Structure 1
Amino acid sequence: MQPADTTPEHGGEVIDFDEALLYACAADERADLIAEAELLAGAFAPDRRADELEAMAMSLSAGTRTPAVERARARRLAAALRRLAKTPQT
């Protein structure tokens, strides 16, 4: 079976999974995740370079985390870090 063609010219759309994951969170949880991502970025990627933030997100998504961080929370935090990586610094 061939996968459906979801390119925009064929009527499909491309979904940013990380943004969808954050959007699915309650507003207060989303704000907490963004704040935590900002704190982590400040501590471990003070220049807020996109490649550093992406590496942190990949590490969380891949399973490299402390036992205190459950997988679902780690995945949502990774999504928040990726959002920061896409956001221009002010």
Structure 2
Amino acid sequence: MRGEVLHYDEDHGFGFITGADGNRYTFAREDLRREVAIGRGTAIEFQPAGGRARDVFSIRAQAASPPAATAAPTQTGNAPGAPQHFGRSAES
């Protein structure tokens, strides 16, 4: 289920979530899928278990970052020259 963090106390390791269903859930540090910065307003997904949220993770942490731009390969000295057409260069 999707939800939003209402409060998370990192020192004490617990917090509160409002689920997409409108209910409030509690969660603890051990319910986090991985250690990420979570604070008020963080969009999350979780598994509801009674009034507890389990397997909590940030949706933004899951978003894939765009791939870095790479330069186009350049021709090396071993690359073939301009194509030949009937014994003459196609560039002529």
**Which structure has the higher relative contact order (CA within 8 Å, separation 6+)?**
1
Structure having the higher Rg: 2
* Structure whose residues are more often helix by fraction: 1
Q: What TM-score range do you get, normalising by the shorter chain?
A: under 0.3
TM-score w.r.t. length of structure 2: 0.19
TM-score w.r.t. length of structure 1: 0.19
* Structure whose residues are more often strand by fraction: 2
